Structure 1
Amino acid sequence: MKTVSIINLKGGVAKTLTTVSMAYALSQQYNARVLVVDNDKQGNCSKTFGVHSYDRQSIADLMLDRDADLAEVIQHTKYDRIDVIPANMTLLTANMQVMMDSSRPQQTRLRTALRKVADLYDYCLIDNAPDINISTVNALVASDEAVIPVKIDSYAFDGLIELKNQIEITREELNPGLRLAGCLITCFQRQAGEQTGEDWLRENLDCPVYKTHIRYSGKVVGSSFECKPIIEYSKTSAAARDYLDFVSEFLTAEKRG
């Protein structure tokens, strides 16, 4: 199972949209078995896939209970080959409790849990909160790769250097196999300054930038209200077509690597 963290310290850059779109394309276009981990207390990924609930177990249980039953935590969705470990606001409390629990390792809990189901899936995609907390550290420790969605605007690069440093620290101290796969430019509108921003990324962050740009599309708002992946909601929209291209590029890079 290849595990990929979708992560950025800045909100509003299409992390959840990217996670959902990758999961849908990988499962429906490439017949891959995909486990989505919602690692954000907002639970937007869980809502999109129709598994958000306070009556069932969630990622908070995995963080707190070493004996949590994965069969109870993992939720099947209406989509073939897509399962979800959901999240809700209980993750906020769980993060605080993990930090106070010194009885067992704090940073490796998610990795330990995911290893139990690694043979059941081809890909695990982790949708992370715009923060560095104990659950996002757990995600990086559990991941093979990190993909950073970036929206090019005046605040686009806030936290990127810090995030890259966190990825490097995690690789050096906890997960030697972790690599930064690349930055994905989202919400692209061909406005003045966007090329300058992309040039800055390529020259200053010292990480790959995917050739595919995810264009802005008003259909994304409609897909969020309908709780459907954009590729299902409007396959001909710019964003849907771009995400299909991105997944193709992502898989090609995987084969090369």
Structure 2
Amino acid sequence: MGKIIAIANQKGGVGKTTTSVNLAASLGVLEKKVLLIDADPQANASSGLGINVEHVEVGTYQLLEHTATAEQCIIAANSPNVDIIPSHIDLVAIEIELVDKEEREYMLKKAITHLKSSYDYILIDCAPSLGLLTLNALTAADSVIIPIQCEYFALEGLGKLLNTVKSVQKIHNKDLDIEGMLLTMFDQRLRLSNQVVEEVQKHFSDMVFDTIIQRNVRLGEAPSYGESIIKYDVSSKGATNYLSLAKEIIKKNA
């Protein structure tokens, strides 16, 4: 049975999509079968794995509307063992369209739960908000990875996200677990980066991954080529970090 992991934080620019794409690719090269669901209307995870977003005919939007099955939405990504359900700017409208539907928080869960028998890991790249899209992802997920960037406002908004996780646990998904907090954009030369790491580890000790994602130019370049860091530059620090994270998750779930 596979595991569904949402990657969420309502703050933008913390490395959610970078993590979704590169963790999927890393798990794939470690011979795990992975499905990445792009649940962000910006569709960066889709383009980051080589999908031409303009040409997406069925994807997360149709999946949530239940006008297409998950199987109809799945495309093979340009990374070994990785499939993707792509997103499109249309997805912006979904929150309004689902608002008066019954059980609107369960649309994604109903559409993808049966896929757990076909994949080792299903990753969901969430939008940078705590709206209905993210709520659907958290309701469908077994656990959540929370990326936290090693910068000044890192912990701001974290309380809000943890409260959302708590209320999802209470109302929609009592089994939702925190897979871990992932420190991203770490620059060891900066005192602030080191302070944030200490602070997060002090507050959340066991919940923090051992792996820390370091600032890396190659990580920033890879998406513009529509490639994961594993495909773009496997010898880079970014690739090493994400492979280490993938191994940590596999070990944790063994």
Contact kept? 2:27, 2:243, Cα under 8 Å:
no
Task: Report the TM-score, using the length of structure 2 for normalisation.
Answer: 0.93
Task: Report the TM-score, using the length of structure 1 for normalisation.
Answer: 0.92
Contact kept? 1:36, 1:84, Cα under 8 Å:
yes
Matched, 1:18 2:19: yes
Distance 1:207 1:147 in 2: 13
Distance 1:229 1:14 in 2: 13
Hey, what does 1:6 align to over in structure 2?
7
Matched, 1:246 2:245: yes
Hey, what does 1:93 align to over in structure 2?
93
Name the SS for the 1:193 alignment partner: helix
How many residue pairs get aligned? The number is 251
- Greater than 4 Å deviation, 4+ residue runs: none
- Superposed displacement of residue 95, structure 1: 1.4
Distance 1:186 1:71 in 2: 33
Hey, what does 1:211 align to over in structure 2?
210
Hey, what does 2:180 align to over in structure 1?
182
Give the aligned CA root-mean-square deviation in angstroms. 1.5
- Superposed displacement of residue 196, structure 1: 2.0
Unaligned runs of at least 5 residues, structure 2: none
- Superposed displacement of residue 55, structure 1: 4.4
Cα deviation digits, residues 40-92 of structure 1 (max 9, x gap): 00000110122223541111112122x52223211122333211111111111
Hey, what does 1:161 align to over in structure 2?
159
Contact kept? 1:111, 1:142, Cα under 8 Å:
yes
Cα deviation digits, residues 133-178 of structure 1 (max 9, x gap): 1110000001111111111111112211000111111111111111
Contact kept? 2:148, 2:181, Cα under 8 Å:
yes
Identity of aligned residues (%): 27
- Superposed displacement of residue 218, structure 1: 0.8
Contact kept? 1:54, 1:88, Cα under 8 Å:
no
Cα deviation digits, residues 167-223 of structure 1 (max 9, x gap): 111111111111112111111111102232123223335761111111111112221
Hey, what does 1:107 align to over in structure 2?
105
Distance 1:39 1:162 in 2: 20
Contact kept? 1:146, 1:179, Cα under 8 Å:
yes
Hey, what does 2:34 align to over in structure 1?
34
Name the SS for the 1:68 alignment partner: coil
Matched, 1:60 2:58: no
Contact kept? 2:61, 2:91, Cα under 8 Å:
yes
Distance 2:54 2:72 in 1: 13
